[in-house]
Structures are given as structure tokens and as C-alpha cells.
Homo-oligomer: A and B are copies of this chain.
């Protein structure tokens, strides 16, 4: 059964004044208004949030969504959590509710308020998304885990430290450049990869070797929301329509020690399964929003998508394929690196950005004529993997 997106909302991303409650409620109201649907017609609410407990002392966040409108009181509201893929997990649950016939209209909200803690506190909370006894409790951080990928990739494909550094700086520069055109982005300023490489050590320090500050995504507050609709309801609304054509979800072992460090093994499976469900190949994509929590992750995503063969991700950036206007624009929004990464909101943010591209509403960073887009969202060190394909219908 087909599921459609009939309304979207996306907050500005950054250090925001709003509380987690305000962000949640604004996002829900925004998506309902955009969809032009009444609260009373919503059949259920799904909230993607990684760690309201850790960041805001608030578990059990979903019920706060009934305050979006008095008519939402008594409706089912559910929080779904799969680390930084919590937003996509909420979309997946809402999609299944519609396919099950349990909902005709579903409200999905992704939200995270991270700047309530300082950087050290945020690092601690994020580490709870790793395998705690084997990773977090051993002092391993998320920059550290993705540094393991960088080292594993380097070793597997015999890439020199200098080559890797240039490659990663080029990914960062592209995403900063893209963010400069996105009015929602947290770091909307242009830079070249030479700027990044030439920064003095103290302005681009090692965070977890070989990853430096400019390889890391941001600590962000933000929220995004979608209204999903069944086919009948979507037709009735007569909105411009985007179909959520495919959604694939795969899970790998939580500890990185049990998996390859040179590829996103389960990510590749999710993306290729989504292609199969949608009946497309990578060549049919007009753009992709992928999970560049660290620059190395974007390179591994090129390979997981099948855009380049394994070990050849550099080609996509060297030859400019992933630039806006080229073969397959990746992270036209600026990505997690420069648009920002309010972790539990990110999957919904990617979906909203994709839908707006397809509707010609990606203000400032529109890809002309986009018809099919992919979002690839991961939780943990590429443990929970979600690939979604959206297609413009009318």
C-alpha cells in the first residue's frame, strides 16, 4: 500500500532558545498547517528522539505531543528510539501503521535538544548509543568509533594519511558550501578544502585521529515533522504529493569489533533493498541526503549506495559527481556536517529536505527537476540503518 507525505516542517538548526517541548510542539503544528489537515483527523503520533532522558531528563516524551492541539488528546502517541536513526525509526513505525490500516493520517516528529549540556556532557550521552560495556565504558567516543572506520578504510585500501586528509576536507568543504545556500543550516558559510587544510592546528585540532574538528558534525537543537497519509486520504487532500516509495531497515551488531571497519555492511544492504523495493538503481536517483555524522561516513555512504566501487569513494568527490548540478548531488542541504545534527530529529529532517526538493521547495538549494531522492540515516556506528526513497507524484 502506498504511503504519501502531505505536509512538512523543519526548524532552523543550531543553538536554539526553545525547550525540547517547544520544538516538538512547533514542529507538529507546522506540519499540520503545511498539510492543511485538522488535528482531529490525525490517527496517531510517532516521535523520534534519541535521549530526552540524557539531554533533558525527559523520557516518555511522546505524550507531550498531544499538547499540539486539544483534539490530539487521547490519540496514540509513541516514542521510537534507534540512536541517531530515531527519526527514521519513527517514520517506519508510522508508515506501518498506515499500511496496517490503523491510521489514515499520521504525524511524525523528530526532535532533539542537545545544547542543554556542554560538549563533554553531549559526548557522554551520545556514547550511550555505542555498546556501553565494550565501547562507551572503555572511554570510546563516537568520534573515536568513526576514526576506527577512517583507519580501517585507510588500511584496507592503502590510502596515505595525506590522501585521506584531502579527501575528508573536500567532503567537509562541499557540505559547508551547500549549507551556505540553505537558510535552515546551522553553519551556513562557505569554505574551500584548501581553507580547511591550511587552518592552523589549533583551529582544526585532532578530535580522534585521523579525524579533526572539521570532520565532525555539529551539536544541534532542532525538530522536523511530516504528515504521512494513506492513498485514499492523500487523494482527498489534493496536496502536491510525494510518495514514500520504499523504506528498508537493517541492523548490525552493536559493537564495532564484530564488523568490518572499511565499509557500512548493513547500510549497503538497506540501501540496495530500498532500490529493489522501489524498482530503481543508483542511476535513477536525482539526489541523496546521507548520514555524514563524520566526513568518513559520507565517503562510506557513496560506496554503500553503489555510486563507486568499494575503496573508490574518492572518485565521487574528486570528479565532482556529488556536487549540486552534477551526477548525484549528496547533502545539498549541507548535511549533518553543516546543516546540523539534532540526532533524534535527523531522520525526519532528511526526509523533509528530500520531500521539499521533490516539490521544488528547497529554498536556496533546489535541485532543478528532482523526481527521486534517497535518504540514508544511521544510528550508532552504522548499526541501525534506514534507507528511504521518495518520489514526486504530482
Contact = CB atoms under 8 A, between A and B. Distances in A.
Interface of A: 1, 19, 21, 45, 50-54, 56-60, 62-64, 66-67, 73-83, 89, 92-93, 95-102, 125, 127-133, 136-137, 249-254, 266, 269, 379-380, 383-384
A64 B131 contact: yes
B56 A132 contact: yes
Given A76-B250, A81-B81, A50 B54 contact: no
Contact of A384 (B62, B99, B266, B379): B62
Contact of A253 (B1, B67, B254): B67
Contacts of A102: 96, 99
A249 B44 CA distance: 10
Contact of A251 (B75, B380, B384): B75
14 contacts: A53-B54, A54-B59, A57-B136, A58-B131, A60-B254, A63-B383, A63-B384, A64-B131, A78-B249, A79-B80, A79-B89, A96-B96, A99-B99, A99-B102
Given A76-B249, A96-B96, A99-B101, A50 B59 contact: yes
A111 to B, nearest CB: 14
Given A76-B249, A78-B80, A99-B102, 14 more contacts: A51-B59, A57-B128, A59-B81, A60-B83, A60-B379, A60-B383, A62-B82, A63-B383, A63-B384, A66-B251, A73-B251, A73-B252, A73-B253, A79-B80
A95 B96 CA distance: 10
Contacts of A19: 133
Contacts of A60: 81-83, 128-130, 254, 379-380, 383-384
A95 to B, nearest CB: 8
Residue of A80, A102, A249 ringed by the most chain B CB atoms within 10 A: A80
Residue of A57, A97, A125 ringed by the most chain B CB atoms within 10 A: A57
